[in-house]
Structure 1
Amino acid sequence: MSHPTKKLLGTELKTLMKSKSIEQITVTELVDACQITRQTFYYHFQDIYALLEWVYEDDFIHHIKNEVDYTNWKDSFLVILNYVSNNYDFCLNTLNSLQRNQFTRMFYHTISELLSKVFYDISGSKDIPQQDADFIVNFFSHAFSGIVVDWILSGCKEPSSEIIGRLSWIMDQQYVNAIEHAKHFQSKQH
């Protein structure tokens, strides 16, 4: 019974966040809309921010994990952009709230996981020192996360296919180039 209650609260939070920030939403407003008690809310969540975190974990991360194909980064990144586009108001109000860092960390983590898998697919080996591999993935993950945040803040006006096209050029040129340089640098040191 607890998961349906969490889902109910999460769905209502997403509905309310289509029109206002999380700071404007009260526990009373949530429980009244869900027709549950405050005690039930606090049984599941410490506060509204814990509920927000759970919504992203359950909704976004679960959605991404089920739909992302790590063998095709373009399709995977398109899944991320489609989620953002389909949940634009919710994502924008999260970004405009005190939870901005949590939101960007979540995107960073998801993109980093994707790019790590792409890294090892492209590199073809693990001959690159872990520190260099982590640096390359970290750099591009921050860049991609920043692009998602900027896209949200600009109203998701640019078609996701254009973003994927630009990212494809970067991945085909710069990401592969960074991996090759890391391999070359490693071989010179031995």
Structure 2
Amino acid sequence: IAYIYYSGSDYSYFIDLDADEWKFLWYSAPNARAYRQYTFNLKVTDKEGNPIDNATVKVYDKNKTLEFETKTDSNGEIPEQIITRGYYDQAHGNTLVDFSPHMLIVEKEGYETYIMYFAPERKIDWTVSLERKKEEKVIIERRKKENMEEGLVLGFGFAIVFFGLAIFFLKGGEIK
């Protein structure tokens, strides 16, 4: 049980508080809020466990509000972040005004985008592995482009031959 007294600030922040049950008694704090927050640490690696630097990491709450956006360092790690799960206030009593599920997005050029939904209940310390994009997609695109260029050249060549034959037959089909 937490006792919330008005202390000059309307907001209290409980970071990484481990509680099985959240109960509040509100004393002289009609506008107070108690925010439930958790630290968030993340490491990004490839499938072999090698760190990926300069990957973009974003976390959004359920209302699509950006909680944070940051980049990984040379160790594949982001600076520690704080995620707000939600808040309690006098109007809602012991019912959490919940900002979850949160959405984690990890992006890096050359890798598949990683997306995961989660609801923080305790301190977070995760490792995410990214998969390289499939090379055959790139090869197929290159082949399509080459095939299109070849088709244009062949089509233009056939057009010249057809035009020459048309003139030949229009003149009576005689070779002099």
**TM-score with structure 2 setting the length:** 0.34
Between structure 1 and structure 2, the one with the greater Rg is 2
